[in-house]
Amino acid sequence: GFCYKMRSVYAHFPINTVVTENGQAVEIRNFLGEKYVRRVKMQPGVKITASTKQKDELVLEGNDIELVSRSAALIQMSTSVKNKDIRKFLDGIYVSEKIPADEA
């Protein structure tokens, strides 16, 4: 299988992530202090968990690398900063590590 690790990056407002639907979706709250709740569903066969070892880390696991990477991309795209200078506003959830699932 494949394992993608994602980290929350923020300058001021802490991004809250909650894994819902038994590891099939994630809710992203307080991104840039916004009240809007972003919900991202995982692709079929991809399981998401919050990391126990590392703060602000999400772990995506699945057998199909296309679906795992697409799920990671959907999470990253959901936290894109609109109408601001993206050189200054670096907040978001980014892929930090791509490893085989047996090494995770």
Tokens of 67: 């679906």
Q: Is the four-CA dihedral 26, 21, 44, 55 of positive or negative sign?
A: positive
Residue-range domains of the chain with CATH: 2-103 (3.90.930.12)
CA–CA distance from 5 to each of 36, 70, 88 (Å)? 24, 13, 24
State the distance between the two ends of the chain, measured CA to CA, in whole angstroms: 10
Rounded CA gap, 38 and 53, in Å? Answer: 24
Measured distance CA(59)–CA(6) in Å, rounded: 6
Q: Report the distance separating Cα 4 and Cα 104, nearest Å.
A: 9
In this predicted structure, what is the pLDDT of residue 101?
Answer: 82
Q: Give the gyration radius of the chain's Cα atoms.
A: 13
Q: pTM for this one?
A: 0.91
Q: Residue 59 has what pLDDT?
A: 95
Q: What is the tens place of the pLDDT at every residue in 11-60?
A: 999 999 999 999 999 999 999 999 999 999 999 999 999 999 999 999 99
pLDDT at 104: 64
Cα distance between residue 4 and residue 12, in whole Å:
25
**Residues 58-103: tens digit of each pLDDT:** 999 999 999 999 999 999 999 999 999 999 999 999 999 999 988 7
